Structure 1
Amino acid sequence: MVWISKLFDNYVKYNIHVGLAVLALALITAMDFNLYLPFSHQLILFVAPFLAYNFIKFHLFIIAGIGSKIKGGMIFFGLTIFMIIWFVGEGLQLPFSSLIILLLTLLLVLLYCLPLPGFTLNFRGFKGLKIHLVALSWVLTTVFLPFSMGGQEINDLGLVYGFQRYLFVLVATLPFEIRDMKSDDSHLSTWPQKWGIRNTKILGTILLSAFVGLELIYFPLLDLTTTLLVAGVLTIFLIKSKAEQSKYFSSFWVEAIPILWLLLKVFNLVI
């Protein structure tokens, strides 16, 4: 059974789980707005966050040229190079608007990791900016990109939907912020560092209430029961979050909530 444990650990470690979570949210957008996403586009929506998060996680090793010294690094980086080549080839066939969104997201990833010209800090290092960069990149990938891929211009309702998704991602990021509050540099001024864990949970609950409120006002016919259930699950995880977490509390269970959301929507369509 040891190999199963290692396989699962690599599934989380190398951000396959994150890629599936992003894909799940993108497919939810497609379902809610009747957007057609061919399988090749769905693969792009998985590969993009997979590459981005692995670059964020391992870019120092990549730049130093020591990726092969990471355990299993040769296989991982070989697979990554193959996926980059495939991604570029498929990405160039996307509509121009989709390319712009992908390039903007790529720029955010690079600025998140690498110092700005003339600065010693990257975007992540600016006080209070980290969580908003994460939420913005997820909204671009899971809302704006599916709209573009589906050949549909985003309207006012789509913008409200994007803001609602922004709130969801903000709250879903908070368990990670709480987990990392001791290891993050104090100058980052993350929410738990600035306001404490208790106030962060209160603020997150308020934002989730706004998330549900937007659903009631603008999207009451989409799938209100599922939205309420997902918001409830996220609230429970937020409340139970603490600085000393189990290994997979945030990285697997919290990250799995978008996948649960998608499965519930599919289940509702079937029954």
Structure 2
Amino acid sequence: MKLWSRFFNFYLDASIHVALAVFSLVYVTGITLNISVDSHLTYFIFFGTIVCYNFIKYGVEADKYLLVANPYHKNIQIISFLAGAGALYNAFFLNGDTWSLLVVLGFLVVLYALPLLPSAKNLRSFGGLKVFVVALVWAMTTVLLPYFSEKGGVSLDVVIETIQRFLFVLVLLIPFEIRDLTYDDPKLKTLPRRYGVTNTKLVGAFLTVVFFFITFLKDDIKTNELLMKGILFLGLGCLMYVTKRNQAQYFASFWVEAIPILWLVILLFLENTLNLV
């Protein structure tokens, strides 16, 4: 049991779980927008997510990322380097349109993790801003990248799906923001610290309503998409209700981050079993 617990914690700490969540959302986009998803792009996103998240969590300072004494962090470093190799391999197969958008995403990630000047702050230092940057990066990565890679442009439905993905990720980040109240610097003006836990949850509930109802603005609405968005609407609403400051150990880091994976599983079930159109 202890071995399983260590493996499970490593799975979370090495950012494999969050990478699977991002990976799942890419395929959700393929199904929802009815496009074929480039396998090299999905693997690039999966491996790149591991590298980016581990770098932000453990190695913002280069010497700490390269010179690791702790054996546990050394293993995470090995996973990061292997993931980096996987990302580089798949990067060679991406087209020019994809790379143009990746440059923008890379710039946002760099701004989030590193200050541009020694005396400056990174975007993570601005508590009220960081969640919007994270949600924007996730939305662009999981919606715009796969669609732009396949079609080379955007449509109204793609814009709406991108907005929905942005709102979806914002709502998922709220439990993390509330959990981190105990650990964050009081000077960090996160949403729960600025507006309180209850008001932040109410904002999340409102965003959930917006997330669902803007589906009706799309030109092409499939029955299974509408049903799936309705399930997410109820699920995210329940998430806001049960979220509290003192959370179970894996509530946010596993269960909340598993929601994108569950989204893909349910969507595949609707597509392959019920054959709704």
The one-letter code matched in structure 2 to 1:71 is P
- Once residues 48 and 159 of structure 2 are traced to their aligned partners in structure 1, the CA distance between those partners, rounded to angstroms, is 22
Counterpart in the other structure of 1:224:
226
Counterpart in the other structure of 1:115:
115
- Once residues 66 and 82 of structure 1 are traced to their aligned partners in structure 2, the CA distance between those partners, rounded to angstroms, is 14
Superposition deviation, residue 121 in structure 1: 1.1
1:76-225 correspondence to structure 2 within 5 Å: 76-117=76-117, 119-126=119-126, 128-218=128-218, 220-221=221-222, 222-225=224-227
Q: In 2, are the aligned partners of 1:130 and 1:188 still within 8 Å (CA)?
A: no
- Once residues 59 and 189 of structure 2 are traced to their aligned partners in structure 1, the CA distance between those partners, rounded to angstroms, is 23
- Once residues 11 and 211 of structure 1 are traced to their aligned partners in structure 2, the CA distance between those partners, rounded to angstroms, is 30
Q: In 2, are the aligned partners of 1:98 and 1:145 still within 8 Å (CA)?
A: yes
Q: In 2, are the aligned partners of 1:35 and 1:147 still within 8 Å (CA)?
A: yes
Superposition deviation, residue 140 in structure 1: 1.2
Once the two structures are overlaid, the 10-residue window that deviates more, 224-233 or 204-213, is 224-233
Q: In 1, are the aligned partners of 2:40 and 2:93 still within 8 Å (CA)?
A: no
Cα shift readout 1:39-84 (whole Å, capped 9, x = no counterpart): 3222112112111111110114643356532333333323322322
Cα shift readout 1:93-138 (whole Å, capped 9, x = no counterpart): 2111211222222222221121122643111113521111110110
Once the two structures are overlaid, the 10-residue window that deviates more, 197-206 or 239-248, is 239-248
- Once residues 205 and 67 of structure 1 are traced to their aligned partners in structure 2, the CA distance between those partners, rounded to angstroms, is 44
Q: Could you say if the C-alpha distance between residues 62 and 248 of structure 1 is closer, same or farther in structure 2, counting changes exceeding 3 Å? A: farther
- Once residues 65 and 20 of structure 2 are traced to their aligned partners in structure 1, the CA distance between those partners, rounded to angstroms, is 28
SS state at 1:188 partner: coil
- Once residues 253 and 75 of structure 2 are traced to their aligned partners in structure 1, the CA distance between those partners, rounded to angstroms, is 22
5+ residue gaps, structure 2, are none
Counterpart in the other structure of 1:22:
22
- Once residues 42 and 184 of structure 2 are traced to their aligned partners in structure 1, the CA distance between those partners, rounded to angstroms, is 33
The one-letter code matched in structure 1 to 2:50 is F
- Once residues 139 and 155 of structure 2 are traced to their aligned partners in structure 1, the CA distance between those partners, rounded to angstroms, is 15
- Once residues 42 and 120 of structure 2 are traced to their aligned partners in structure 1, the CA distance between those partners, rounded to angstroms, is 37
The one-letter code matched in structure 1 to 2:97 is S
Residue 219 of structure 2 corresponds to residue 242 of structure 1: no
Q: In 2, are the aligned partners of 1:175 and 1:241 still within 8 Å (CA)?
A: yes
Counterpart in the other structure of 2:47:
47
Q: In 1, are the aligned partners of 2:58 and 2:64 still within 8 Å (CA)?
A: no
SS state at 1:139 partner: helix
CA RMSD of the aligned region, Å? 1.9
Q: TM-score, normalised by structure 2?
A: 0.91
User: How many equivalent residue pairs?
Assistant: 271
Superposition deviation, residue 5 in structure 1: 1.3
Counterpart in the other structure of 2:272:
270
5+ residue gaps, structure 1, are none
Once the two structures are overlaid, the 10-residue window that deviates more, 255-264 or 99-108, is 99-108
Superposition deviation, residue 90 in structure 1: 2.0
Once the two structures are overlaid, the 10-residue window that deviates more, 235-244 or 131-140, is 235-244
